[in-house]
Amino acid sequence: MLELGNVGKRQFEDLVSKNQNAGMSYIMAVYAALDKYLANEIKDSGVALTCGKGCAVCCYQMISCTKPEMDEIILFISRMEKGARHDLKKQLGQFAEEWEQYYSKNQLSLTQNPFLFVNDWKGKPCPFLGSDGACIIYPVRIIDCRTLSSLRKCETFETSRAQRHRFACETWANNLILDHQEDRFGYQAVSPLGHWLSICKKRNWQPIRDDELRLEGGDKSVLRSVRLGR
Ligand code: SF4
């Protein structure tokens, strides 16, 4: 039976520690705990989600994540089979260029409204979306991609009828990752994927060094606060 409230949160954190002790990185330990709790929460609550493989409506937008989450993605890409890695990097490079053009045109507006890109990017496919409608980086997809779920069939992004379902455990996982980033970099916020990919492309897809994040990720126009309140 799933525990909620502070007891549930403590148990969740214990599972994260256990996963780390088993050799997982902090981010993968949180993801593994989250996946387990999501499955239990769905089973215990009997909630009927309409999401499933092949439905990728929620992949038509610009996702945002923390630096530690992006590090896991870059590591995953570096371990992909050579041909698939080459194709993906090409796709990511094009996406990064599109973002750079958008950013240079809208830098001032983004400083005033860091959420601007969310609307501007609605309906555009995520560069990790495969031609078969599946996520290419599924094992390391970010927290939002693990938890975004609907109680009603979305149809298309433009005419989305999505009815968001919120899981208790998503708040715990989300806030643990933000705290983890704050411990390392002194702030709690996420940046759009385009921003991360632009830095990664310049670094020839090597992991972004922490000092580079302080320089580039410290740009307030691409930081959004997303701490969840429950
Ligand atoms: S990372 Fe994967 S699951 Fe998330 S939006 Fe992109 S394609 Fe979809």
Pocket test for ligand 1, best of 55, 126, 193 (most atoms within 8 A of CB): 126
CA of 49 to the centre of ligand 1 (A): 18
Range with top average pLDDT, 32-36, 52-56, 191-195: 32-36
Q: Is 141 in the pocket of ligand 1 (CB under 6 A)?
A: yes
Nearest protein CA to atom 7 of ligand 1, as residue: 129
Structure tokens at 72: 């896991």
pLDDT higher than 80, residue 2: no
Range with top average pLDDT, 28-37, 107-116, 158-167: 28-37
Structure tokens at 225: 């606060």
Own/partner pairs, 20-29, CB within 8 angstroms, 24+ separation: 25/72, 26/68, 26/180, 27/68, 27/69, 27/71, 27/72, 27/177, 27/180, 28/72, 28/140
- Give dist(CA 12, CA 22) in Å, integer: 15
In a domain, 198, yes or no: yes
- Give dist(CA 35, CA 13) in Å, integer: 13
- Give dist(CA 106, CA 109) in Å, integer: 5
Residue numbers of the domain that contains 63: 50-166+187-222
In a domain, 19, yes or no: no
Structure tokens at 35: 């996946």
CA of 34 to the centre of ligand 1 (A): 17
In a domain, 150, yes or no: yes
Q: Are 182 and 213 in contact (CB under 8 A)?
A: no
In this prediction, residue 230 carries a pLDDT of 39
| HEC per residue, 47-63 | CCCCCCCCCCHHHCCCC
Structure tokens at 121: 């990017």
CA of 141 to the centre of ligand 1 (A): 6
- Identify the weakest region by mean pLDDT among 46-60, 119-133, 148-162: 148-162
In a domain, 76, yes or no: yes
In a domain, 172, yes or no: no
Nearest protein CA to atom 5 of ligand 1, as residue: 59
Q: How confident is the model at residue 51 (pLDDT cuts 50, 70, 90)?
A: confident
In a domain, 93, yes or no: yes
In a domain, 123, yes or no: yes
pTM of the model: 0.88
Name the E strands within the chain.
64-65, 191-192
CA of 7 to the centre of ligand 1 (A): 31
Q: What is the tally of structural domains in the chain?
A: 1
- Identify the weakest region by mean pLDDT among 114-118, 156-160, 167-171: 156-160
In degrees, to the nearest 5, what angle opens at C-alpha 24 toward C-alphas 199 and 58?
55
In a domain, 14, yes or no: no
pLDDT in tens, 210-230: 766 654 444 545 555 555 443
CA of 142 to the centre of ligand 1 (A): 8
